[in-house]
Amino acid sequence: MASQGGTAETNNEIWQGENKIVIGIDIGTTQSGVAFTYLVKGGKPQIHRITQWPGQVANSQTTKIPTVVWYDDQTAVSFGAEALSRDKRMDAEDNGWVLAENFKLHLHPEHMRADNLMMNPLPNGVPLSQIYSDFMGYLFKQTKSYFEDHIVDGGSIWEKYIPTVEVIIAHPNGWHSREQAFMRNAAVECGVFNTPGSTIAKNIQFVTEAEASVHYCIKHTNLSGRLSEGSRFAVCDAGGSTVDTTLYSVTSTQPVLQLKEVRASASIQAGGIFVNTAFETLLRKRMGDLGLDSEDVEEYSKAGAEDFEFATKRSFDYENPDSKPNVKVAGDRIRHGDPSNPNKIHRGCMKIASSEIKKCFDICVNPIISSVNDQLGKLNAEHILLVGGFGDSLYLRNVLKRKYEGQNIQVTLANDSTSKAVADGAVIWSMVRSVIARAPRHSFGVICSRTCIPWMEDLQGREFHVGPGGIPIVPGAWSPVVQKGVPVAVDEVCRRSYTYTCDTESPESITLSNDLYAYTGEDKPDWGWDENGL
Number of Cβ atoms within 10 Å of the Cβ of 78? 24
Q: Is 294 exposed, middle or buried (0-12, 13-18, 19+ CB in 10 A)?
A: exposed
Q: Are the CB atoms for 61 and 33 separated by under 8 Å?
A: no
On whether both 294 and 229 belong to a single domain, the answer is no
On whether both 356 and 495 belong to a single domain, the answer is no
pLDDT of 417 reads 59
pLDDT of 477 reads 85
What counts of helices (H) and strands (E) characterise the chain? 13, 25
Task: Identify the H or E element spanning 259.
Answer: strand 258-261
pLDDT of 265 reads 86
Does residue 67 fall inside a structural domain?
Answer: yes
Q: How far apart are CA 490 and CA 251, in angstroms?
A: 14
Q: How far apart are CA 41 and CA 484, in angstroms?
A: 40
Which residue range forms the structural domain that includes residue 165?
Answer: 7-209
Residue 472's SS3 state is strand
On whether both 430 and 478 belong to a single domain, the answer is no
Looking up residue 232, the CATH number of its domain turns out to be 3.30.420.40
Q: Are the CB atoms for 119 and 269 separated by under 8 Å?
A: no
Q: Which residues contact 464 (CB under 8 A, 6 or more apart)?
A: 452, 472, 473, 474
Q: Are the CB atoms for 55 and 83 separated by under 8 Å?
A: yes
pLDDT of 225 reads 78
pLDDT per residue as tens, the chain (534 positions)? 333 345 555 555 788 889 999 999 999 999 999 999 999 988 889 999 998 899 987 656 678 999 999 999 999 999 999 999 999 999 999 999 999 999 999 999 887 776 656 788 999 999 999 999 999 999 999 999 999 999 999 999 999 998 889 999 999 988 988 999 999 999 988 877 665 445 667 889 999 998 898 889 888 877 777 888 999 999 999 999 999 999 999 998 877 788 998 988 888 999 999 999 999 999 999 888 888 888 999 999 999 999 999 889 989 998 888 999 999 999 988 888 888 788 889 899 999 999 999 999 999 999 999 999 999 988 889 999 999 889 999 999 999 999 999 999 999 988 765 567 899 999 999 888 756 566 777 788 998 888 877 666 677 678 777 777 777 888 888 888 888 878 777 677 888 888 887 777 777 777 888 888 888 887 888 888 877 766
Q: Note if the bond before 163 is cis, omega within 30 degrees.
A: no
User: Which of 360, 382, 412 is the last residue in one of the domains?
Assistant: 360
pLDDT of 2 reads 38
Does residue 400 fall inside a structural domain?
Answer: yes
Burial of 44-74, coded b for 16+ CB within 10 Å and e otherwise, reads ebbbbbbbbbebbeeeebbbbbbbbbbbeee
Report the sign of the C-alpha dihedral through residues 389, 390, 393, 396, in that order: negative
Q: How far apart are CA 193 and CA 248, in angstroms?
A: 36
On whether both 410 and 474 belong to a single domain, the answer is no
The domain tally of the chain equals 4
User: Which of 380, 414, 438 is the last residue in one of the domains?
Assistant: 438
Residue 238's SS3 state is strand
Sheet holding 345-346, edge to edge: 326-328, 349-351, 345-346
On whether both 143 and 194 belong to a single domain, the answer is yes
DSSP 417-454: TTS-HHHHHHHHHHH---EEEE--SSEEEEEEEEE--T
How far is residue 49 from each of residues 11, 16, 342, 428, measured CA to CA in Å? 16, 23, 45, 12
Q: Are the CB atoms for 217 and 435 separated by under 8 Å?
A: no
pLDDT of 482 reads 87
Does residue 324 fall inside a structural domain?
Answer: yes
On whether both 266 and 292 belong to a single domain, the answer is no
On whether both 142 and 250 belong to a single domain, the answer is no
- Backbone phi, then psi, for 471, in 5-degree steps? -85, 125
Does residue 529 fall inside a structural domain?
Answer: no
User: Which of 386, 406, 438 is the last residue in one of the domains?
Assistant: 438
User: Taking phi first (over 0 means left), then psi (-120 to 50 degrees means alpha), and beta for anything else, what does residue 362 get?
Assistant: alpha
On whether both 235 and 178 belong to a single domain, the answer is no
Does residue 248 fall inside a structural domain?
Answer: yes
On whether both 180 and 313 belong to a single domain, the answer is no
Report the sign of the C-alpha dihedral through residues 184, 188, 192, 197, in that order: positive
Amino acid at 284: R
On whether both 148 and 296 belong to a single domain, the answer is no
Rounded to two decimals, the pTM is: 0.81
On whether both 375 and 460 belong to a single domain, the answer is no
Does residue 235 fall inside a structural domain?
Answer: yes
